[in-house]
Amino acid sequence: MDKYQEALGKYDINLNDEEIKAEVEQIVADNFDANNNADVLKFSLGCIDLTTLNPTDNEERVRLFTQKVNEFEEKYPELDNVASICVYPNFAEVVNMNLDVSEVHTTVVAAGFPSSQTFNEIKVAECALAVASGADEVDIVIGVGQFLQGAYEEMCDTISECKAACKDAIFKVILETGALKTASNIMKASILAIYSGADFIKTSTGKLEPAATPEAVLVMCKAAKAYYEQTGNKVGIKVAGGVRTPADAVKYYCIVKSVLGEEWLTKDLYRIGASSAANNLLSAIVGETVKHFL
């Protein structure tokens, strides 16, 4: 038995999909109304990794995208700014050169995002180059095909090598939960990513449907909780892909709070990867339609 199979053996990885669905429905039914308020919306806005990952991105668009975050600080001083700006790795330097808000991080996707289908050497090199270009946080995707084949050691070794290349940068591992399909697979992938060095586990790239789902996030929270109970170490949760409305944000807030507790409800341990959600949350907070962010 290799160390990864041994790690999986420490956890309950045999989950029932229908039971997970029912648990999500109960959590939302019991908690949504109490948490559907301005404070939760403000908190959620401050946890956003504001994202642009389009084939049409260029230096000018990324500069303007970043400028909107700078302007937010002046226009809405009573609100927390977004947690980070998330871009392709070749734009990390553009963000850093134009970002004037010290508490907002520069996040990049790397290691063959979004498919993770390239040479390991390129994955590792891309992570290293991203950090050298000023990335504070790096999001990579697991080798989904490797996972589905049962090649856990190969997949995990690559994650660990990328983690080492990221040095002190916050390291987020994307599970692409829509491709994993079952709660048991999501639980296994979560545990394997955590044991390979993830500081956060993240739902999806947003490039594949289904993207984030409440059921996937519930399972990821269960994995983070079980790991914490065994080791005392906290791993963050990032919900990404399809989070658009204030109601979406409240649902995910309810799940994280219910499973992991209020101590996880900080931007150090909870993130939302989104673009349109930022304007929608801001509009709900100020009480009128606002299109501040690009």
Residues 6+ apart with CB under 8 A from 227: 11, 191, 194, 233, 235
Of 123, 172, 202, 267, the catalytic one is 202
Confirm whether 291 is a catalytic residue: no
Tokens of 131: 């950090």
CA–CA–CA angle 146, 147, 148 (5° rounding): 95
Catalytic site residue from 238, 251, 257, 267: 238
What is the dihedral sign for C-alpha 178, 181, 182, 188?
negative
- Cβ count within 10 A of residue 57: 16
Assess whether 202 carries a catalytic annotation: yes
- Structural contact between residues 116 and 142, judged by C-beta atoms closer than 8 angstroms: yes
Choosing from 136, 139, 199, 248, which is the catalytic residue? 139
List, in sequence order, every residue forming a beta bridge with 273; answer none if it has no partner: 49, 240
Catalytic: 234?
no
* Tokens describing residue 154: 């190969």
Active-site positions read: 139, 202, 238
